Amino acid sequence: MIDEETLNLSLRKFLKRVGISAQRHMESNVRAANEGETLPENGRVAVRMTLDMDGVTTPLVVEDEIEVR
């Protein structure tokens, strides 16, 4: 049986870690692209996040764009 409270707390902890790590990674890469003058002219960068879980055959893919200018 699943303990809903334990699951919820564990998921929140994981997502917080993912969010902080992903933001730092993206900021670093955007800054490097800016220094190398390789940012897109439209000021938007396509991003994709893929979530894989053991025992789940289909990953979750979230795609969007972020504005950098």
pLDDT tens digits for range 33-68: 999 999 999 999 999 999 999 999 999 999 999 999
pLDDT value at position 69? Answer: 85
Tokens of 57: 């055959």
Span 5-21, average pLDDT: 97
| Band (21; pLDDT cuts 50, 70, 90) | very high
State both tokens at 49: 């996040």
In the structure encoding, which two tokens stand for residue 48, read together?
Answer: 């994709």
Q: How far apart are CA 11 and CA 14, in angstroms?
A: 5
Question: What predicted TM-score, i.e. pTM, was given to this entire model?
Answer: 0.82
For the chain, the domain total comes to 1
Closest to 30 in 3D by CA, of 4, 60, 69, 1: 69
Classify 22 as helix, strand or coil. helix
The range of the structural domain enclosing residue 17 comes to 4-67
